[in-house]
Amino acid sequence: MAVVFIGIGSNLGDRRRNCSKAVELMISTGMSIIRTSSHYETEPWGVKDQPRFINMALEACTFLGPLNLLQLLKDIERSLGREQTIRWGPRTIDLDILFYDDLIFSSEDLIIPHPLLHERMFVLEPLAEISPDRVHPVLKKSVRSLLDTLKSSS
């Protein structure tokens, strides 16, 4: 069973409910949730002219492999009304695989660890709440250290 960390975000509709519903749907598919972070209200990243986000992170266990997990998360996004629009644009829900065990993986559809997590305060803050000592398998730094570095450069 793999230990995975998922980033969750929403900036359309009932943002908190969208995030909570995504967690419920993950549980209903057999994922075992270990920890969830608080909700964080954050500024949009990438495309600035859009509503603020609610972001959170969770730690879970799954029997799914990385690509099957990605497909499950995409199915959950669609079931919650996510539509493909512009990159980094508004969305009812966004589910990203941040870490999958200590796996370093790259395919056309998926890169693990998430390639931008160390640049995103909205990912690092909730992740640091639930797993501050988790070490990024590529950068060899803890989540807490990555967050401190990002805060000091802002």
What CATH code is carried by the domain that includes residue 127? 3.30.70.560
What pLDDT is attached to residue 88? 65
Q: Point out which residues pair with 64 in neighbouring strands.
A: none
Residue 91 lies in domain: 2-153
Please state the separation of Cα 58 from the chain's center in Å: 8
pLDDT computed for residue 22 by the predictor: 97
Cβ neighbours of residue 9 closer than 8 Å, sequence gap 6 or more = 19, 42, 53, 54, 55, 56, 91, 93, 94, 122
Q: For the segment 49-75, what is each residue's pLDDT rounded down to a tens digit? A: 889 999 999 999 999 999 999 999 999
Quick one: pLDDT at residue 99? 98
Say what the pLDDT of residue 48 is: 79
Give CA–CA dist 1/58, Å, rounded.
16
Name the band, by pLDDT with cuts 50, 70 and 90, for residue 86.
low
Total domains in the fold of the chain: 1
pLDDT tens, position by position, 101-136:
999 999 999 999 999 999 999 999 999 999 999 999
Which residues are identified as catalytic? Answer: 82, 91, 94, 96
